[in-house]
């Protein structure tokens, strides 16, 4: 079953951090992992669901930084799907046993909506999962679509990439490997 995503920033993680008092102007390229202590961290519960058993995103009690739960992933790297190079980029490595407890499609959707996977600049993107392959060992989603942005004029560019989820973690590939 295919699924279409309309992405425009409404669910962006940064948008959910501001009401929590986090004054970041942009998300860091790598969100560090920390062992979560409810006395020192606040869950970002308004962020898109990632299909995990508990929130992935947390704010330090001082309100200055966003972190990810180190019991789930080591850290979380933001990647730009609008780039056209053929590199495979790793977003995160799962901790032991996490792979067996996740819902990969929800994880992919959440990473897109939170803008951990950047799919547009300035305006919006429309993406469709055109192929999925799920086994007991891995999940792969092939996404195609377009993103719209402005320089001196309106620009529309095609997007075509793959997201792999398995026991090792999450990776983005532009050529399916």
Q: What is the CA radius of gyration of the chain?
A: 16
pLDDT of 76: 94
pLDDT at 1: 56
Q: What is the pLDDT of residue 83?
A: 79
Measured between alpha carbons, how far is 57 from 54 in angstroms, rounded to an integer? Answer: 9
What was the pLDDT predicted at 122?
66
Name residues of the chain where pLDDT drops below 70. Answer: 1, 9, 48-49, 84, 86, 121-122
Alpha carbon 176 to chain centroid, angstroms = 18
Q: How many structural domains compose the chain?
A: 1
What does the angle CA 86 – CA 88 – CA 90 come to, to the nearest 5 degrees?
155
Contact 150, 123 (CB under 8 A): yes
Look at residue 52 in the predicted model and tell me its pLDDT: 77
Which residue range forms the structural domain that includes residue 118?
3-173
Burial class from Cβ neighbours inside 10 Å (0-12, 13-18, 19+) for residue 82 reads middle
């Amino acid at each position: 079953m295919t699924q279409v995503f309309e992405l425009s920033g409404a669910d962006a993680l940064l948008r959910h951090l501001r009401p929590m008092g986090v004054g970041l102007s942009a998300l860091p390229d790598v969100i560090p992992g920390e062992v979560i202590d409810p006395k020192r961290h606040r869950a970002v519960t308004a962020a898109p669901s990632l299909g995990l058993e508990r929130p992935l995103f947390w704010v330090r009690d001082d309100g200055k930084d966003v972190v990810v739960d180190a019991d789930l992933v080591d850290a979380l790297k933001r990647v730009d799907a609008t780039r056209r190079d053929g590199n495979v980029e790793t977003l995160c490595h799962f901790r032991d046993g996490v792979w067996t407890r996740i819902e990969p499609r929800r994880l992919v959707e959440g990473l897109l909506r939170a803008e951990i996977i950047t799919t547009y600049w300035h305006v919006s993107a429309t993406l469709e999962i055109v192929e999925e392959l799920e086994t007991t060992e891995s999940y792969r989603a092939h996404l195609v679509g377009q993103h719209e942005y402005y320089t001196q004029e309106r620009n529309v560019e095609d997007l075509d990439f793959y997201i792999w989820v398995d026991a090792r973690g999450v990776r983005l590939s532009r050529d399916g490997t």
